């Protein structure tokens, strides 16, 4: 398992935990369970976690599949700098967020999932991983004519002077006129 | 003009039957808990949350039974082989086993969510009734069971108020503990099975997936404590709920209404899952036994650009074209099995695989076979290998069509190597009963490097086909990634007899094929035939080809039918 980037799995787990916290929170709040305010907290924490985890970080090897529409959130997450790119901070943040939800049965599953995500993030941090945003490189405008090294030194080949003066009806398009081509200037074959 | 039914009809049918069963079970068990008198008092306590928890439970039983079956690949291989008499249509369905496995998994996740949410309400209300935080009727019902000789209705016997009460139930009752544990296992399995993790970090996916063992054990004992209570049959004879429910304070005091007696449902889940669990256990034992059979590496060939070929022999090994095997190398990793398509033909006396060196395991294999050393390796130095398989995939069906289109993208050309080699042998041995009359072969490749070992095969075939049957094999190689300097080179050598890249007489084409044209041409050249289209390549290409097959097939039974078959791991 040498090449594994634990953060990838931690990210999936944390995103799932966020959704589970939101669901459990809605159940507790809508059902007006005892201490349902913890359910309300759960919804808020879940939303925060989903927003934080939605933009996938860039993998150190290979290309990364972006989640649909993640570039707006990438910009927002990037703003926080080391708070979001350091996985130690993320691990402890998730651990902290999970604790209040552990007091309600409806949200305890979210707590467990988030705690697991937190420990995988800790593992990722120990391995030296950190979050880098996926940025699309600005498209380079193709330089028109950039690959042309020298302007052509010979004029383009033209049909002989006789053919140019009188385009007769019998002449089929594409049939070269008269005899062999006489070049006004010496022409060399440049193909190697 | 298009024929969705020819390509997808069987799949749609299977899915509809499966969904239908889910809906049926849901509605049936909802009514079992929502209508009869047996659960009259339970419903007084819990409302419709009872039925809403039991209905998905029935669906979960059904789906957990199904989920193990598509991954018993030896069983599926057996079914595939024994249904040689049956049409290829049924065998094609068995190719979609992994898709079905994933669909069932999502259904399990959905039903788990409904089941859990409904039970959260049940637990909350049960505990509330016990601590007198509910309507008087529920409180009175919950008191039944306190006196000796009474059986309880409300499973929360301790008077601890919420939220601690709910948490207490979760950690002290078997259903609670197993519920939380197996749901956690399910979530971990799902998050490690997403495409990103599966494609890039296979080991995480594979090892985490084995949590299903805990899942199934927990599932089997989940209902053992019987905390879903209903009135017993004898009690229903003596105490009729619809007559007695109104005078609850008189129960036990008047003759017509003795105190009702309750019991829990016996656990049902194990009956559903014990069969598939046994089949899966057999499957793993078969894999283990097969892996113990001795496999000898007879030859190792290093090809350019990080590809190696392993030629092996195993006693009693029989293969068909386009099958794949799972390979384990204990020296590299004691637990990992990796799939590879067989590149040899059944007519050869050895079997071979071509491996691209891309990750940890393949690197380890590379070193273990001594490929990084220059000098000749002694045979005894080669590592021990375990092989499981061969397992059948779509390519086996190639010979049952008259006309086939084979499309391989990059390394996806490997199953077709096996097919083409087999065809060459059949021709050499003058096998006259070949149903296959015409092959259109497309190889799409990004760069020229991967050509080498396959180009040799094509060269041999080219010379062969020239002699015997010039029109049999028509192949097209497409270079999809090329740059300017290469384009110059091609343009200059355009008129030469053999292609500069492959050395073949058939010239390499550049860019991607125009599938619309290709399909229309082939369709019009072979009217009234069933044409098999076989692809081993990326998803996007699969979708394109699938659409083309559907839109270029005639609707009537007499016209041309293009049947799409995709291989994947």
Per-residue confidence of chain A (192 residues) as pLDDT tens digits? 456 789 999 999 999 999 999 999 999 999 999 899 999 999 999 999 999 999 888 887 777 788 888 888 888 888 888 888 899 999 999 999 999 999 999 999 999 999 999 999 999 999 988 888 887 766 666 666 556 677 777 777 777 766 655 544 444 444 444 456 666 676 666 555
pLDDT reported for residue B125: 92
- Number of Cβ pairs closer than 8 Å across A and B? 94
Q: pLDDT digits over B119-137, tens only?
A: 999 999 999 998 888 888 8
The Cα–Cα gap between A24 and A104 comes to: 9
B75-95 burial: b if 16+ Cβ within 10 Å, else e: bbbeebeeeeeeebeebbebb
With the CA atoms of A34, A37, A40 and A41 taken in that order, what torsion angle do they form, in degrees rounded to the nearest 10?
Answer: -120
Average the pLDDT over B76-89 and give the result: 64
The Cα–Cα gap between B508 and B488 comes to: 14
Burial of A112 (0-12, 13-18, 19+ CB in 10 A): buried
Domains: count for chain B: 3
State whether A23 and B203 contact (CB < 8 Å): no
Task: Tell me the nearest-neighbour CA distance from B196 into chain A, angstroms.
Answer: 8
State whether B163 and A35 contact (CB < 8 Å): yes
The Cα–Cα gap between B403 and B329 comes to: 39
- Please report whether residue A80 resides in a domain: yes
Output helix, strand, coil percentages for chain A, rounded to the nearest 5: 50, 0, 50
Task: Judge if B26 and B133 occupy the same domain.
Answer: yes
Task: Judge if B63 and B126 occupy the same domain.
Answer: yes
State whether B196 and A3 contact (CB < 8 Å): no
Task: Tell me the nearest-neighbour CA distance from B128 into chain A, angstroms.
Answer: 9
Question: Based on C-alpha coordinates, what's the Rg of chain A?
Answer: 33
Task: Tell me the nearest-neighbour CA distance from B142 into chain A, angstroms.
Answer: 19
3-state SS class at B438: strand
Task: Judge if B426 and B466 occupy the same domain.
Answer: yes
Structural domain containing residue A77:
6-58+67-127
CB-based contact, B166 to chain A, within 8 Å: yes
Q: How far is CA A182 from CA A161, A164, A185, A186, in A?
A: 10, 14, 9, 10
Q: Residue A9 is nearest to which of B120, B187, B192, comparing CB atoms? A: B192
HSE (side-chain half, CA atoms, 13 Å) at B443: 24
Task: Judge if B400 and B260 occupy the same domain.
Answer: no
β pairing state of B338-341 and B295-303: unpaired
Supply angle C-alpha B5, B7, B10, rounded to 5.
Answer: 70
pLDDT reported for residue B441: 87
Task: Judge if B270 and B238 occupy the same domain.
Answer: yes
- Please report whether residue A135 resides in a domain: no
- Does the pLDDT of residue B299 top 60, yes or no? yes
- Please report whether residue B193 resides in a domain: no
State whether A4 and B194 contact (CB < 8 Å): no
Contacts of B110 (CB under 8 A, 6+ apart): none
CATH number of the domain that residue B324 is part of: 2.40.30.10
Task: Judge if B449 and B411 occupy the same domain.
Answer: yes
Task: Judge if B124 and B68 occupy the same domain.
Answer: yes
CB-based contact, A66 to chain B, within 8 Å: no
Supply angle C-alpha B305, B307, B309, rounded to 5.
Answer: 150
CB-based contact, A73 to chain B, within 8 Å: no
Task: Judge if B267 and B313 occupy the same domain.
Answer: no
What is the distance, to the nearest Å, from the Cα of residue B484 to the centroid of all Cα atoms in its chain? 43
Task: Tell me the nearest-neighbour CA distance from B561 into chain A, angstroms.
Answer: 36
The Cα–Cα gap between B357 and B305 comes to: 9
Structural domain containing residue B366:
295-370
pLDDT reported for residue B561: 78
β pairing state of B438-445 and B403-409: parallel
Tokens standing for A107?
A: 């949200």
- Please report whether residue B209 resides in a domain: no
Task: Judge if B338 and B275 occupy the same domain.
Answer: no
Which residues of chain A from 97 to 156 reach within 8 Å of chain B, CB to CB? 103-106, 108-109, 112-113, 116, 147
State whether B187 and A20 contact (CB < 8 Å): yes
Q: pLDDT digits over B359-398, tens only?
A: 788 889 998 888 877 777 777 788 889 988 787 665 667 7
State whether A5 and B201 contact (CB < 8 Å): yes
Positive or negative torsion for Cα A18, A24, A27, A28: negative
- Please report whether residue B383 resides in a domain: no
Contacts of B288 (CB under 8 A, 6+ apart): none
State whether A31 and B124 contact (CB < 8 Å): yes
Preceding peptide of B554 cis, ω within 30°: no
The Cα–Cα gap between B519 and B534 comes to: 13
Task: Tell me the nearest-neighbour CA distance from A57 into chain B, angstroms.
Answer: 12
């Amino acid at each position: 398992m040498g090449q594994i980037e634990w953060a990838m799995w931690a990210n999936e787990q944390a995103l799932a935990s966020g959704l589970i916290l939101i669901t459990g929170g809605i159940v507790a709040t809508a059902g007006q369970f005892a201490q349902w305010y913890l359910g309300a907290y759960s919804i808020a924490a879940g939303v925060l976690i989903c927003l934080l985890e939605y933009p996938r970080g860039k993998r150190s090897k290979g290309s990364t599949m972006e989640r649909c529409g993640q570039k707006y959130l990438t910009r927002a997450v990037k703003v926080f700098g080391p708070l979001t790119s350091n996985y130690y901070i993320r691990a402890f943040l998730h651990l902290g967020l999970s604790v209040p939800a552990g007091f309600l049965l409806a949200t305890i599953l979210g707590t467990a999932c988030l705690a697991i995500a937190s420990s995988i993030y800790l593992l990722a941090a120990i391995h030296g991983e950190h979050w880098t945003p996926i940025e699309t490189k600005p498209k380079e405008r193709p330089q028109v004519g950039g690959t042309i090294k020298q302007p052509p030194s010979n004029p383009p080949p033209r049909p002989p002077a006789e053919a140019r003066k009188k385009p007769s009806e019998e002449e089929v398009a594409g049939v070269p006129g008269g005899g062999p081509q006489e070049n006004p200037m010496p022409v060399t074959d440049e193909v190697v | 003009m298009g024929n969705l039914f020819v390509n997808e009809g069987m799949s749609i049918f299977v899915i509809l039957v499966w969904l239908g069963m889910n809906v049926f079970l849901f509605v049936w068990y909802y009514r079992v808990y929502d209508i009869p008198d047996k659960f009259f008092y339970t419903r007084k306590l819990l409302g419709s949350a009872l039925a809403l928890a039991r209905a998905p439970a029935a669906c979960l039983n059904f789906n957990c039974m199904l989920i193990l079956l598509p991954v018993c690949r030896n069983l599926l291989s057996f079914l595939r082989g024994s249904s040689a008499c049956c049409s290829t249509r049924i065998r094609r369905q068995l190719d979609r086993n992994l898709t079905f496995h994933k669909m069932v998994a999502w259904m399990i996740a959905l039903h788990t969510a409904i089941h859990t949410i409904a039970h959260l309400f049940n637990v909350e209300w049960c505990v509330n009734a016990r601590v007198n935080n509910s309507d008087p009727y529920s409180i009175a019902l919950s008191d039944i069971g306190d006196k000796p000789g009474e059986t309880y209705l409300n499973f929360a016997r301790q008077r601890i108020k919420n939220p601690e009460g709910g948490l207490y139930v979760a950690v002290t009752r078997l259903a609670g503990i197993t519920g939380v544990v197996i749901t956690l296992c399910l979530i971990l399995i799902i998050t490690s099975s997403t495409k990103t993790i599966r494609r890039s970090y296979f080991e995480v996916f594979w090892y985490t997936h084995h949590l299903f063992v805990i899942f199934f054990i927990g599932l089997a004992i989940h209902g053992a404590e019987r905390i879903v209570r209903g009135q017993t049959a004898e009690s229903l004879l003596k105490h009729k709920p619809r007559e007695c429910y109104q005078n609850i304070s008189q129960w036990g005091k008047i003759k017509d209404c003795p105190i009702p007696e309750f019991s829990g449902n016996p656990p049902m889940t194990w009956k559903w899952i014990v069969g598939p669990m046994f089949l899966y256990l057999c499957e793993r034992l078969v894999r283990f036994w097969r892996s113990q059979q001795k496999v000898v590496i007879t030859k190792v060939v290093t090809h350019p650009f990080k590809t190696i070929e392993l030629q092996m022999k195993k006693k009693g090994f029989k293969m068909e074209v386009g099958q794949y095997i799972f390979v384990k190398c204990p020296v590299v990793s004691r637990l990992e099995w990796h799939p590879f398509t067989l590149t040899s033909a059944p007519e050869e006396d050895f079997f071979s695989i071509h491996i691209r060196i891309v990750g940890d395991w393949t690197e380890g294999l590379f070193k273990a076979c001594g490929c990084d050393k220059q000098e000749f390796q002694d045979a005894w130095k080669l590592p021990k290998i375990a092989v499981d398989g061969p397992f059948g995939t779509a390519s086996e069906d190639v010979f049952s069509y008259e006309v086939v289109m084979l499309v391989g993208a990059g390394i996806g050309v490997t199953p077709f190597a096996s097919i083409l080699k087999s065809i060459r042998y059949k021709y050499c041995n003058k096998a006259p009963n070949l149903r296959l009359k015409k092959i259109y072969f497309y190889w799409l490749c990004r760069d020229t490097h991967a050509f080498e070992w396959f180009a040799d095969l094509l060269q041999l075939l080219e010379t062969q086909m020239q002699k015997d049957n010039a029109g049999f094999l028509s192949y097209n190689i497409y270079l999809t990634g090329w740059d300017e300097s290469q384009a110059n080179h091609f343009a200059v050598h355009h008129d030469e007899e053999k292609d500069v890249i492959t050395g073949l007489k058939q010239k390499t084409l550049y860019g991607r094929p125009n599938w619309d044209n290709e399909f229309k041409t082939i369709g019009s050249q072979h009217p009234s035939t069933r044409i098999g289209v076989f692809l081993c390549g990326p998803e996007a290409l699969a979708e394109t080809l699938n659409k083309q097959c559907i839109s270029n097939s005639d609707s009537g039974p007499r016209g041309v039918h293009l049947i799409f078959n995709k291989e994947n791991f």
